[in-house]
Structure 1
Amino acid sequence: MIQVGNVRLTAQWRRFGGDEGVDLQIHVQQNGTWREAIRFDCFLRHPHYHLDPYGHERILDIADPDPLGWSLKQIETQLPELLAKAGYANVEIEQDELTAAFPKIVEMAEAANR
């Protein structure tokens, strides 16, 4: 788990519904409670991501042939925008802190990719 401000990122290998792959979860803290805001399911057969998985969930396909690389790029360059699309525009994240933590985020994701 890596924390950047009020955002926590985790990575694990996940099997679900006959598919499997790296699962990147982004949790945000609001009012003292942690909530999953975004989940990238970098599955082998049907890669996709969820915005607000436990609220007003939206599931979007990942069309890139490298779903893990694509997901990491989204985290690196689009995280505030993705949080806003997931309904968490009020969660601030310092880009400098995210940039500093990004190599560890990549390392964590690669370790989960067995």
Structure 2
Amino acid sequence: MDRTGDGSCGIVAADGIQDGSGMMTELEIGGVVLTIDYRRTGDDRGPSVRVFGDVDDERVQLLRFDCFDDDPHYHYAPTGVNRMFHLDPLTMGCPVEFTLDQVGRNTRAMIAAAGFEEFAEGVDQSALAEQIGDVQAAIDAEAAG
């Protein structure tokens, strides 16, 4: 999807970029907590969607999707084993759309692949799919600053 008319998916604006000290949206859906914010790391920037869950009475980051301009990627267990995979915009399209698709269809399977099989059993993938519009709205709101 060409959101800007210039071939990019166009979610990043020069204004409203947060450095981790700014805005963040938190959504509780389907047994997980999603946090959406803007990140700036070095020369790259863009929305980040983090998936948290309570594992052994501790809030753990299970997945993270970094929809950056130059190096979009996602992580399995970012604060643990941290397996990271780069996105190829040519074959995978817009990083934001990729993220929304994965959250809506594959969160449960991805959490299990990250090593949290028992936690994944309690994830309501249908609820995530039904409320993916809320995630999109949060990304758009963060982009607007």
The two structures have a TM-score, normalised by structure 2, of 0.73
Residue in 2 aligned with 1:99?
A: 129
Which consecutive residues of structure 2, in runs of 5 or more, have no partner in the other structure? 1-25
**SS in structure 1 at match of 2:118:** coil
Residue identity over aligned pairs, in percent, reads: 26
Q: Considering only CA atoms, is the larger Rg found in Structure 1 or Structure 2? A: 2
How do 1:11-26 residues align onto structure 2 when only pairs under 5 Å count? 11-26=36-51
The two structures have a TM-score, normalised by structure 1, of 0.91
How do 1:57-76 residues align onto structure 2 when only pairs under 5 Å count? 57-63=82-88, 64-76=92-104
CA drift at 1:79? 0.7
How do 1:44-83 residues align onto structure 2 when only pairs under 5 Å count? 44-63=69-88, 64-83=92-111
Q: Which has the higher contact order (CA 8 A, sep 6+)?
A: 1
How many residues are paired up?
114
RMSD: 1.3
Which consecutive residues of structure 1, in runs of 5 or more, have no partner in the other structure? none
Structure 1 CA distance, aligned partners of 2:95 and 2:30?
26
Q: Is the 8 A contact 1:6 1:29 kept in 2?
A: no
1:80 alignment partner AA: R
Q: Which has the higher strand share?
A: 1
